[in-house]
Amino acid sequence: MAPKSREEVWKSNPSEWHDKYHGVGDFCKRAKVYYCRSGRWANFDWLLANCDAPLSTEAMDNAATNGLYNNVVWFHEHRFEGCTTAAMDGAATHGHLKTVQYLHENRNEGCTTAAMDGAATNNHLATVVWLHQNRSEGCTTAAMDGAATNEHLEMVKWLNENRTEGCTTAAMDGAVNNSHALVARWLKENRSEGCSTAAMDNAAGQGYLAAVKWVNENFAVGCTPVAMVNAASKGYLEIVKYLVNEVNQVSTNAAISVAAENGHLEVVKYLHKLRTESCTAEAILLAKKNGHSDIVKFLLQHEECRVAYEMEKSKTRVGSISTIAGRLLSYLAQVFDGELTYEQENKAKSI
CA 207/CA 17 separation, integer angstroms: 52
pLDDT grade, residue 6 (50/70/90)? Answer: low
pLDDT grade, residue 195 (50/70/90)? Answer: very high
- Residue 39, judged by CB atoms within 10 A of its CB (0-12, 13-18, 19+), counts as middle
pLDDT grade, residue 236 (50/70/90)? Answer: very high
Q: What average pLDDT does the segment 204-209 reach?
A: 96
The helix or strand, by DSSP H or E, that contains position 343, with its residue range, turns out to be helix 303-350
Residue 9 CA from chain centroid, whole number: 36
Q: Is the pLDDT of residue 218 over 50?
A: yes
pLDDT grade, residue 279 (50/70/90)? Answer: confident
Q: Which of 80, 73, 29 is nearest to 55 (CA)?
A: 29
Q: Which of 118-127, 264-273, 341-350 has the lowest mean pLDDT?
A: 341-350
pLDDT of residue 55: 84
Number of H helices, E strands in the chain: 23, 0
Q: What average pLDDT does the segment 290-299 reach?
A: 95
Mean residue pLDDT across the chain: 88
Q: Is the pLDDT of residue 328 over 60?
A: no
The helix or strand, by DSSP H or E, that contains position 12, with its residue range, turns out to be helix 6-12
Q: Which of 126-135, 221-230, 263-272, 280-289 has the lowest mean pLDDT?
A: 280-289
pLDDT of residue 20: 73
Task: Tell me the residue type at 248.
Answer: N
Task: Tell me the residue type at 267.
Answer: V
Q: Is the pLDDT of residue 1 over 50?
A: no
pLDDT of residue 348: 47
Q: What average pLDDT does the segment 289-304 reach?
A: 93
pLDDT grade, residue 154 (50/70/90)? Answer: very high
pLDDT of residue 30: 79
pLDDT grade, residue 308 (50/70/90)? Answer: confident
CA angle centred on 108, ends 107 and 114, rounded to 5°: 100
Segment 91-136, tens digit of pLDDT: 999 999 999 999 999 999 999 999 999 999 999 999 999 999 999 9
pLDDT grade, residue 7 (50/70/90)? Answer: low
Q: Is the pLDDT of residue 350 over 60?
A: no
- Direct distance between the N- and C-terminal alpha carbons of the chain, in angstroms, rounded to an integer: 77
Segment 54-93, tens digit of pLDDT: 888 998 999 999 999 998 999 999 889 999 999 999 999 9
pLDDT grade, residue 326 (50/70/90)? Answer: low
CA 289/CA 62 separation, integer angstroms: 48
Q: Is the pLDDT of residue 297 over 80?
A: yes
3-state SS string for 216-234: HHHCCCCCCHHHHHHHHHH
pLDDT grade, residue 191 (50/70/90)? Answer: very high
